[in-house]
Structure 1
């Protein structure tokens, strides 16, 4: 029957209301303690920040150099992750092949691998005596360790899983009927991918790229192990914070505030995508 026949339209399922009863003290107390534990160190940064001299410190040559290098290398690392990670995410989301679970596990290893171990692994592969580094040096004269390119490589290594996971999730949630319709109309796989699939998952790619950029911006362990800590060449903001702790605490606090601000802004902007609820 239709609406013209007198049938009432289907009513949407009611939204489950929130429970507003009394919160058990056994849950409220550890929850508050957990919140304090996470927020208190951040509040310590704000309290100890040199607010009166903050503009001058942000314009110091060393701080500006670290900021500039961090932004440039994080952006280049994100572009590298986009070029390699989006096709990898499509492979994991769209194709069923033997060993796919193993490949997915290997892709996510940098998420749990200590960054210093990642730096050591990069050295063993791309160092002058590494599996590929010796050949690159002898054939093309390319030396990646302790260079700006090494910073980009280290940041991309630790940040790419964030992009792959985000894009794969977007691909799995996308409606494949549009891709099937494009294929029915004679579009090639590449045309379907570039003209249909990418626009469908563009929000997921954007969110993954932002998370990837933020992770690359804050990378420390793999960078200092693989690229070193040379001002103006490999010294990013996290490395500058580490060095400033020994000589200038105020500069370390200023750089930490910059990283904290970037992290808060990114998480706030991605809240609707990654967190449920109003």
Structure 2
């Protein structure tokens, strides 16, 4: 039981850290895409969505090739004496890469719902572009940002394919809930696998339910 608790805590920590790490870049990219009208936007959007439509194992293979000792990033990391492959860092990285597109898509939708005229009013009242973003745009896009953050966290929590290739399935080191469920099933320990699946379901339900409650309360305050 203690081992399962450690497994759950590790999985939650990985998902939370991956989400926090991609949040600044995800918000920036989403905002940029929501305001970009030039050529090349479709190409960039397609590139960002690729991790969602590619087999996760394909994404994991690309990460593995990049981070391997003879890979372009691997050589740089090796010179800095930083080890990533088959470590907890690789678990966070794989989860972050797979969760990033979901964050961007939802956040972009939130930014696109913001009326540009409200931002323009803030600018005419003396706000700088950055101040108008934090005072007007960001608060008005909160639903998309909250949804994107939740989806990113949930995706990171359930990540399997990319993680197993770039981080392995090492109990006590890189094994997450998703990997443990698969591992228990392979060993014929169906009861333990079902228990872990139940824990994962409970966490996902709690996250979604909490977000819905917060969204309703915020919406009620706005209407008031």
Q: TM-score, normalised by structure 2?
A: 0.89
* Deviation larger for 60-69 or 84-93: 60-69
Q: Which residue of 2 aligns with 1:142?
A: 82
1:190 maps to what in 2?
130
Q: Deviations over 1:172-230 (max 9, x none)?
A: 11111221112223322222222221111122111110111011100001011111111
Name the counterpart of 1:57: none
After superposition, the C-alpha distances for 1:52-76 in whole angstroms (9 at most, x for unaligned) are xxxxxxxx12211210110000000
TM superposition shift of 1:127:
2.2
| 2:63 aligned with 1:122 | yes
Could you say which residue in structure 1 is the equivalent of 2:219? none
| Stretch moving more, 240-249 or 110-119 | 240-249
Normalised by the length of structure 1, the TM-score is 0.72
Query: Structure 1, residues 83-133: CA drift from partner, whole Å, max 9, x if none?
Result: 211100011001223201100011111111111111001111222221212
Query: SS of the counterpart of 1:132?
Result: helix
CA RMSD for the aligned pairs? 1.8
| Gap change, CA 1:133 and 1:169, over 3 Å in 2 | same
> Is there any run of 5+ residues in structure 1 with no aligned partner, and where?
1-59, 274-278
1:155 offset after TM fit, Å?
0.3
- Higher Rg: 1
The match for 1:26 is none
Separation in 2, partners of 1:264, 1:129: 42
Higher helix share: 2
Tell me the number of residue pairs that the alignment of Structure 1 and Structure 2 aligns: 213
Q: Which residue of 1 aligns with 2:10?
A: 69
Greater Cα offset, 179-188 or 168-177: 179-188
Other-structure match for 2:139:
199
- Are 1:171 and 2:111 counterparts? yes
Cα distance in 2 between the residues matched to 1:209 and 1:81: 9
How far residue 266 of structure 1 moved from its aligned partner, in angstroms, is 4.5
Question: Aligned equivalents of 1:74 and 1:123: distance in 2?
Answer: 20
The corresponding residue for 1:225 is 165
CA distance in 2, matches of 1:233, 1:192: 44
Alpha-carbon distance, 1:267 to partner: 5.0
Q: Could you tell me how far apart the structure 2 residues matched to 1:271 and 1:89 are?
A: 22
What corresponds to 2:150 in structure 1? 210
- Tell me which of 25, 29, 36 is aligned to 1:95: 36
Q: CA deviation at 1:154?
A: 0.2
Structure 2: unaligned runs, 5 residues or longer: 216-224
Cα distance in 1 for partners of 2:203, 2:5 equals 16
Answering whether residue 101 of structure 2 is matched by residue 154 of structure 1, we say: no
CA distance in 2, matches of 1:130, 1:97: 34
